[in-house]
Copies of this chain bind each other. A is one copy, B any other.
Amino acid sequence: MHENAVVLLSGGIDSSTTLAAAKRDGFTTYALTIDYNQRHKIELTAACKIAKHLEVEQHKIIFLDLRTFGGSALTSNLTVPKNRTLSDIVNPAIAWKAGILEKLTEKEILPQGIPLTYVPARNTIFLALALAWAEVLDAFSIFIGANAIDYSGYPDCRPEFIQAFQQAANLGTKRGIEGAPFQIKAPLINMTKAEIIQLGVSLGVDYSLTFSCYDPSPRGEACGACDSCLIRRRGFLEAGIPDPTLYRDGEA
């Protein structure tokens, strides 16, 4: 008999690869997507496509309006930042075409500190919701695509947070205190984007269905210049795998 697992699925590269990894490990997967009224709603469509593509047992989308609180470029009218290290020098999309970006390290590309796209307590909220469903499903494992490398600025993507949440989960649930503890699994936490993409490709993930951009055009094209696009572009480049994304600047 297969064991159930809840997998948080946003529709981006990391959560899609995490879902594929959960399937590889033999789990019957229940995908949970949170429509938090994010600006980039198109990722919900991507999540549906991926859930179907990777044949999950069930896919739930739950609505929770985090714009009620705001506090992030993704849930308020703050401007989604485009690459700041380079923005004073050149347009990042131009820099990309000119082959400048690909020579920089991730540290040089990414903003220092915690990005404006940080959403207060997002992973705490998402994991809490996954925990609720996992308890009802009798699933011991909750998968999250948290990654401490690419966005080391996000505090809720670090192993120490994941560990602390697991501890709280096991003290705050019926299942936890009855001695059948939950495990929060973040299999990508120490992988680079390139390694993640290579893993996903080896597991059959069709990345053309995924979506990463924080600031897509109304027609759904990726901007190519936000932090998330830049990390994606560099990831495919480093992985030596063609990037299937259509960027607004017309480059693959």
Interface residues of A (CB under 8 A from B): 60, 62-66, 68-71, 114, 118-125, 127-129, 131-133, 135-136, 155-156, 158, 160-161, 164-165, 167-169, 171-174, 176-177
Chain B hits for A161, CB < 8 A: 168, 171-172
Beyond A118-B174, A167-B168, list 18 extra A-B contacts (CB 8 Å).
Answer: A60-B68, A62-B64, A63-B65, A68-B133, A69-B133, A71-B136, A119-B132, A120-B132, A120-B135, A121-B128, A121-B135, A124-B169, A124-B173, A125-B129, A155-B174, A161-B168, A164-B167, A165-B168
A114 — nearest CB in chain B belongs to which residue?
A: B174
User: 27 A-B Cβ contacts within 8 A?
Assistant: A62-B68, A64-B64, A69-B132, A70-B136, A119-B132, A120-B131, A120-B132, A120-B133, A121-B128, A121-B132, A121-B169, A121-B172, A124-B168, A125-B128, A128-B128, A155-B174, A155-B176, A155-B177, A156-B172, A156-B173, A161-B171, A164-B164, A164-B167, A164-B168, A164-B172, A167-B168, A168-B168
Chain B hits for A127, CB < 8 A: 128
Chain B hits for A64, CB < 8 A: 62-64
- Cα-based distance from A12 to B62 in the complex (angstroms): 26
- Cα-based distance from A128 to B64 in the complex (angstroms): 12
Chain B hits for A129, CB < 8 A: 121, 125
A129 — nearest CB in chain B belongs to which residue?
A: B125
Chain B hits for A71, CB < 8 A: 132, 135-136
Chain B hits for A62, CB < 8 A: 64-65, 68
- Cα-based distance from A71 to B173 in the complex (angstroms): 12
Determine whether the beta carbon of A136 is less than 8 Å from that of B120: yes
Chain B hits for A118, CB < 8 A: 174
- Cα-based distance from A160 to B168 in the complex (angstroms): 8
Nearest Cβ on chain B to A243's Cβ, whole angstroms: 31
Chain B hits for A68, CB < 8 A: 60, 62, 133
A159 — nearest CB in chain B belongs to which residue?
A: B171
Determine whether the beta carbon of B173 is less than 8 Å from that of A155: yes
- Cα-based distance from A137 to B165 in the complex (angstroms): 23
